[in-house]
Amino acid sequence: AQSVSQHNHHVILSEAASLELGCNYSYGGTVNLFWYVQYPGQHLQLLLKYFSGDPLVKGIKGFEAEFIKSKFSFNLRKPSVQWSDTAEYFCAVNARGNNRLAFGKGNQVVVIP
Amino acid sequence: EAQVTQNPRYLITVTGKKLTVTCSQNMNHEYMSWYRQDPGLGLRQIYYSMNVEVTDKGDVPEGYKVSRKEKRNFPLILESPSPNQTSLYFCASSLLYTGRNEKLFFGSGTQLSVL
């Protein structure tokens, strides 16, 4: 079964700083990859997803993620964060043909104004 | 408005007292799923359903039951709750799980405390 690793559970940074969150998965086959965001007190929302094609995926609110197959990674980036980006970010992986979606443990990101 | 509705939003109960958390979606989605969210553990899948009368275990199904008698509803049942089931629960749905439209829509969550 696929599993997902997210490192640096807590990230604190200042506004305008760049953000990169790592996501690694363990599955040798074809995968669908997602990043979800959970703002304080809210439910999860899809930030971006990768199914195939261009490995650099652009999502909402200036976020992007790059799929590197050789590294089994799907890191999330944003060049300049805002206070409103304070949230918990979850990477998720679905192995093609499998009906389950595995989530990582999440990254709690706090942006200081 | 397209949404996934969970009830109740907050629930405090005692050990052993059966409870049901309801989940309903109005998007005619085939796939529905329950997750629990715990600090440091992220989201873990409890059960999922591919369609009416089709359910399967996720990663942490012990102590939970589900049913899918209608397409729109997917209740989570705790027959005999225990304190280790204190958690934040999310229901989610998506149109299909075999196609490309695999975005999950999440409910607002149910915070359950078992004393």
Alpha carbon distance B42, B27 (integer Å): 26
Cα distances (Å, whole numbers) of residue B32 to B25, B56, B73, B74: 9, 11, 9, 7
Residue-by-residue DSSP string for A10-26: EEEEETT--EEE-EEEE
Residue A44 pLDDT greater than 70, yes or no: yes
Average pLDDT, chain A: 91
Cβ of A44 and B41 within 8 Å? no
Token reading at B84: 């280790």
Residue B110: how many CB atoms within 10 A of its CB? 22
pLDDT of residue B71: 95
B38/A contact by beta carbon, under 8 A = no
pLDDT tens for B50-108 read 889 999 999 899 999 999 999 999 999 999 999 999 999 999 998 876 555 567 899 99
A98/B contact by beta carbon, under 8 A = no
B39/A contact by beta carbon, under 8 A = no
Listed range (A14-23, A42-51, A78-87) with the worst mean pLDDT: A42-51
pLDDT of residue B98: 53
Amino acid letter for position A42: Q
pLDDT of residue B97: 61
Alpha carbon distance A59, A52 (integer Å): 15
Across the range A76-103, mean pLDDT stands at 90
- Identify the residue whose tokens are 């999330």: A76
Closest residue in A to B50 (Cα–Cα): A99
Closest residue in B to A103 (Cα–Cα): B43
